[in-house]
Chain A
């Protein structure tokens, strides 16, 4: 347990020091002392988008953050997690910090009048500082509280250290994750347990924070990947699952009707009376409330799904940019794919817009490799082929269809799965229409030589003798004669056509 404690200790220390870094730099502190914005604080809208932060935290209004104190405090928390006295000192320490913060905000309120002339970025920095302090308080609170819960305690202690072999798998929702944890723990152990100085999200509020593992990323918005905001330079909001999946997010306060967009709600509100028809009531709320001015702290969103890379607990957390991104991400990654493409019946989607996009292109220009991979563009397929040895492009069945239809007489019998994008390819090389290939007598090796076609016979239409000709392997004159016979005997054109298809093979 000693080693485990040490590991945890280091971990916590480093993570908290990380968390303070951006917000509580010296410059930040200096500006902080001078300028603040009460109004800004009100608008910070932590409450608007239910963060993981509990609303009661608003009670802690003000606190001056001290980085060093933070670290010390946290180290204290971890080192003596089981001591009630330590707990008490922790709590008092927190109380102290909250008071500090309170004072600070009071100060800001007092200087509210000077605000107007101040620069936007200063205000933003102040807000950022306060947010950072608040979040660190929250971390402390939670970790303090967390140490009291036995199951969490166990979890926290085992995960960073070597896997102890207890029946802990029950704690993991999936066996795979458990394995990951195990392997990761091994790695950490090998590296001397000092490898925990990884970037941590600002807010750490979840019990199973150590179960955070690489979660499979599928259809993520690529635009997000490039963004490289330093942790703490933005505010993280996390919507609950129910809220993400709710069909409507804006509700009429009068009749309760739900809307997807607040613009639609405002349109709706006009029906409830003239007071909703004013320009102010119809304008976009955000723009209106901050008339000129200071940009708010950038908002980023976290996915509520634990273990997801988009969840703030993740080591390589990458925030989502907008609520729409959150919704799409959550549906794409963590929901069932309930919409099936009506064309290929294979592709499934959880976001209906994705389905529509796919259906637009489904079946068209499908470039398929022999390995089964499809490409929407030919050059991508050729790049793939150039890259992987032995891969070849598959020849679409449509082409075989047309070639089969051109050889009308061949009576081709190819499968009818034309519009099944994925299936509609002929992976095998050449399986043309099957024909009766074997001819009786062909193995005899006999070859009939053609007889010159006697003019006399033709004139008198005496073809009787030709019927006696055996049909042999490469006999090619006979079919011609049959044609003539067919015509001479007054076959109807239809029948003649059939005889063509029979004999010319």
Chain B
């Protein structure tokens, strides 16, 4: 360091910033650690941060003065008191924060929320989704953030019209709100929302028990662009008719699984909005009729259409694709009538296709895949789950032509074999590959993947019993950027193979369910190597002994979710895990034969202030102390009794 005064000193500040921006996130970290210049640049330019340990929050807020987005969704210990202390700490500057993610922060309640809302004056986006205990009081607290533009309240189960009204009145400038699964919301609340928040652009009312009256109110929103109403059981075609003459800016509509919606409802939407870009009508229309196709013809801007589960004949698919040539995404899963003829027509017409979902289209063969691969060179996502007729031939043309494919789902395709994997491996940009239930693949095929698909981020090998340790070793050597790996029920795997996983330093999600051959040694190796591990499933790994769990407790400080069902973990090991894994929020502890009731009591007591979700055997409900259960509940932990 002292010998050369660093090449960076000759670069001006803005150049360093630009250099820094060009770096990959892992490289950035490295540079940050070795160069003060980059550290300084980072602290000045960083605008978003995701925090796992809330105890660092004040320091981080101090170090990064220009933060605008703060993600606290994975902080297990965030609660009202932490927030209040933060508020009292004068050094903390929260003025610039515009976006706040509090998803799953069930321990923060109205008091903390209000403090946060008052601290962050510039707050524009808040996400409190999956805070299942949230209700009207929390909504009232949030409403003090008057500048709010976007709000996500999915699954705030106790939120009622009153709470919504508080938000609506307090934050009348909202332009995006998601109320998915807020089951208490009724027509009254939606009506008020539409009356007051006239600037609303995006609205999600999925799963709500609202009626056509709500749609009538929604239709009055002049600026509405995106409307999601998945599975609204009370809405029918009559409601959708209001949309025909209302909401002139509408561009995206999702009516998936609305039981009472039929084609005529869709037609009325389409008739009123010739500029619509996205139409998701999966599992609600039974068939695509000629009259619908007539109206579809007028949609020059349609980019996405999902008609999963409908009876789509080849001829209608061809005419659909010929009228909407700009289609980029089409969802045809469970459209059992689709055959190669229709697919070839689609391939001929829609050259810009990027996403194609053909899951469970049993009659689609290699011919269709070849046609798609040859015509649609931009194809990025291809889902072929349960297309049993697909063989290596189809995959060969994919490997030849579809160089841009990033996501490939071949789950449950019998026809996929080692040769097929060899072809697939030519898709060098592949990031997500699902090969679950493909029993015909062996180490050889996996070796091809491991050696060529270096950009792979996710790999699903669920129940691929044909490959073993060598294949896994090849993967671990080649796919260094893997962060999600599913090896459940790959029974051939032993410690030797699993130990290799430790080379995957970026791995954060690992499923090892049902691997009877691995022991504590394998788990210890994984724990020591994969520092980023956040999710671990070792259900039914009966031979992992306490040494493995000790190691896990020692190394995996970032573990957030763990499934220990049917493991032979002992009382002490469980206590160790629960006390030392200080980020653990979601634990499954079913059928632990070696753990006593006292062991459970101990283990849960040490982590009761950070658990969000817990799965236990039902009899424990009466054996655990009531104080413990009350505390868990009060902290917003939801217990599933199995």
Contacts and interface: CB of A to CB of B under 8 A. Distances in A.
Interface of A: 378-379, 382, 385-386, 390-393, 395, 399-400, 403, 406-410, 429-432, 435, 437-439, 442-443, 445, 447-450, 452-453, 455, 458-459, 473-477, 479-481, 483-484, 487, 493, 496-497, 500-501, 503-505
Nearest to A472: B55
B91 A445 contact: yes
Given A430-B140, A430-B141, A459-B572, A393 B166 contact: yes
B192 A483 contact: no
A442 B143 contact: no
B56 A447 contact: yes
Given A403-B137, A406-B633, A443 B89 contact: yes
10 contacts: A386-B195, A407-B109, A429-B110, A430-B110, A438-B85, A450-B582, A459-B572, A473-B85, A484-B579, A504-B608
A442 B90 CA distance: 11
Contacts of B154: none
Given A399-B135, A452-B554, 12 more contacts: A391-B169, A395-B166, A430-B113, A432-B110, A432-B111, A435-B80, A453-B579, A473-B55, A480-B579, A500-B605, A501-B627, A504-B635
Contacts, number: 170
Interface string B91-124: 1000000000000000001110110000000000
Contact of B605 (A430, A438, A455, A483): A483
Contacts of B110: 429-430, 432
Most central of B55, B82, B554, B575 by chain A CB within 10 Å: B55
Nearest to B602: A487
Interface stretch (B157-165, B364-372, B468-476): B157-165
A479 B55 contact: no
B272 interface: no
Nearest to A482: B606
Contact of B85 (A437, A458, A476): A437
A399 B136 CA distance: 9
Given A458-B575, A504-B635, A379 B188 contact: yes
Top 5 closest pairs, chain A to chain B, by CB: A474-B55, A497-B627, A430-B110, A504-B609, A407-B634
A19 B133 CA distance: 70
Contacts of B166: 392-393, 395, 429
A495 B238 CA distance: 62
B553 interface: yes
B537 to A, nearest CB: 23
Contact of B162 (A393, A403, A407): A393
A49 B127 CA distance: 72
B572 A429 contact: no
A496 B135 contact: no
Interface string B395-432: 00000000000000000000000000000000000000
A366 B550 CA distance: 57
B488 to A, nearest CB: 29
Contacts of B162: 393, 395
Interface of B: 54-59, 77, 80-82, 84-85, 88-89, 91, 109-111, 113-114, 133, 135-137, 140-141, 143-144, 161-163, 165-166, 169-170, 188-189, 191-192, 195-196, 550, 553-554, 572, 575-576, 579-580, 582, 601-602, 605-610, 625, 627-628, 630-631, 633-635
B82 A474 contact: yes
B582 A395 contact: no
A392 B143 contact: yes
Nearest to B110: A430
A459 B81 CA distance: 33
Contact of A429 (B54, B143, B601, B628): B143
A93 B565 CA distance: 112
Given A409-B634, A429-B141, A382 B188 contact: yes
Contacts of B161: 378, 382, 393
Contacts of A399: 135-137
A78 B327 CA distance: 92
Nearest to A369: B165
A177 to B, nearest CB: 41
Nearest to A442: B85
A500 B77 contact: no
A403 to B, nearest CB: 7
A379 B84 CA distance: 37
A400 B169 contact: no
